[in-house]
Amino acid sequence: MKQLIILSCLFFISFDSYTSNLAEFSSIKELPNGEIRITFKLSKVALVKSYALDDPSRIVVDVKDSQLKKELDSRQNYPIKKIRASQDGSTSRIVVDLYESVFWKKPWQIEKKDHVLLIFEVKKDKELKRNIRDIIVAIDAGHGGKDPGAVGKLNILEKDITLLIAKELERTLRDTKGYKPVMIRGDDSFVDLNDRYQNARKVGADIFISIHADAFRLSSVKGASVFVWSEEASSITADNLSKKELANNPEVKAKIGKLDVNDFDEDAARTLYQLVYEAKIENSILLGNKILDKLRLDPYTKLHKKNVEFADFRVLKSIDIPSVLVESGFLSNPEDAARLKGKPGRRMIARSIFLGIHNYFKEKPKPNTFMDPVQTSVEYTIQKGDVISEIAIRFGVTVDEITDLNNLRGKAIYPGQKIKIAI
């Protein structure tokens, strides 16, 4: 009974802290590219859910545990018919009524000094028969800047290897229709562990992929692994890795339990949204298994662990975003170091991650995206310098499969050309 009372108190304390988040309409404007940008102002970062509906066409944005300053019912310009906002319990609901189907972007959040901007955009597209958006993949290249990560054989640093793999993955996702990659770091900069998953939330990420490479005192230890978050580690190796993560980031260790004013409190949210958290873990395991399935087929890469591992990695703590950490190998092992130093080895890791991501969304398609309903092929845009053989390697198909599907035998390809790839 005493425990129940304590838990109840904690619930109401957390709930009160959330409802202090005020939401109000800020602006609407047309951008030079024809997109209509809608902006709301929040007191702090919020848990935001969004989806599209048809017949009639509309976009719905729910800002959890917030309070509207005032209700909104305003007529707007084409293709927006009207913007409505109302309070539904502890949720501020924003509804954008549309004249026709649009391409829309998931809401993202930008921190300002004393508030947070919630932004989303719509754009008319005559070819669309329903409201469509991209799948957002947050790519986290481990370490960076003052934090080199593991230092391995052949004088290579983990921070450099993870960034190169991340950029390879970003390139494939960027040029594949239906995906939008967002780099947590795009250069040799330091990003706090807390900020990594917080930033994934701010951009509205559908999934979060953290890329790492390990080192061990025994040079014989090698192979790739995939992890999802758990307070309890599934092995001694997993436990050691998560402890090493905090040990190498003393700033994070000192900040645990101390949130910035605009931060989203993952620990409090885990209590409030238990079902959301359980679904995130289930989906993270599925995502991890899809990536492992592809890593098993990689001729360059051996697996260190055959099953998805569990560890208390801080970057995976988001309560609602399916998140995995891929250890691409051990830089302390000569074979792994040589594999990851070379472009073919890094490219194959990136390919396995991409194909794992794609197979995950084939099994768990996101509503209002190009993967809903599931597509039998993806559309890839040819980039300058592309050759069919390289594209085939990147997507795990044969040259003949690409040329036959697109009627390309004996024909040259050119930048900007769109081709289909069956994966």
Q: Do 353 and 230 share a structural domain?
A: yes
The answer as to whether 1 is a domain residue is no
- What pLDDT shows up at residue 41? 97
Question: What CATH number did the domain enclosing 392 receive?
Answer: 3.10.350.10
Q: Do 205 and 288 share a structural domain?
A: yes
Nearest-CA neighbor of 140 among 177, 181, 109?
A: 181
| pLDDT one digit per residue (tens) for the chain, 423 residues | 333 333 333 333 344 444 579 999 999 999 999 999 999 999 999 999 999 999 999 999 999 999 999 888 888 889 999 999 999 999 999 999 999 999 999 999 999 999 999 999 999 998 899 999 999 999 999 999 999 999 998 889 999 999 999 999 999 999 999 999 999 999 999 999 989 999 999 999 999 999 999 999 899 999 999 999 988 776 767 666 766 666 666 555 545 455 566 778 887 888 888 899 999 999 999 999 999 999 999 999 999 999 999 999 989 999 999 999 999 999 999 999 999 999 999 999 999 999 999 999 999 999 999 999 888 899 999 999 999 999 999 999 999 999 999 999 999 999 999 999 999
Q: Do 139 and 118 share a structural domain?
A: no
The answer as to whether 12 is a domain residue is no
Question: What CATH number did the domain enclosing 295 receive?
Answer: 3.40.630.40
Q: Do 119 and 139 share a structural domain?
A: no
The answer as to whether 14 is a domain residue is no
Residue 181: give the domain boundaries. Answer: 135-363
Residue 56: CB atoms within 10 Å:
9
- Tell me which of 73, 94, 124 is where a domain ends: 124
The answer as to whether 11 is a domain residue is no
Q: Do 197 and 345 share a structural domain?
A: yes
The answer as to whether 371 is a domain residue is no
- Tell me which of 93, 124, 155 is where a domain ends: 124
The answer as to whether 109 is a domain residue is yes
Split into its structural domains, the chain has a count of: 3
- Tell me which of 124, 154, 184 is where a domain ends: 124
Angle 388-395/399-406 helices, nearest 10 degrees?
110
- What pLDDT shows up at residue 268? 80
- What pLDDT shows up at residue 247? 63
Q: Do 145 and 25 share a structural domain?
A: no
Distance of CA 52 to the CA centre of its chain: 20
- What pLDDT shows up at residue 49? 96
- What pLDDT shows up at residue 318? 92
Question: What CATH number did the domain enclosing 40 receive?
Answer: 2.60.40.3500
For 196-210, the three-class secondary structure string (H helix, E strand, C coil) is HHHHHHHCCCCEEEE
- What pLDDT shows up at residue 73? 87
- What pLDDT shows up at residue 91? 95
Q: Do 323 and 407 share a structural domain?
A: no
Q: Which two tokens stand for residue 270?
A: 């885990």
Phi-psi region of 362 (alpha: psi -120 to 50; beta: other; left: phi over 0): alpha
pTM over 0.85: yes
Q: Do 345 and 217 share a structural domain?
A: yes
Q: Do 408 and 315 share a structural domain?
A: no
Q: Do 140 and 112 share a structural domain?
A: no
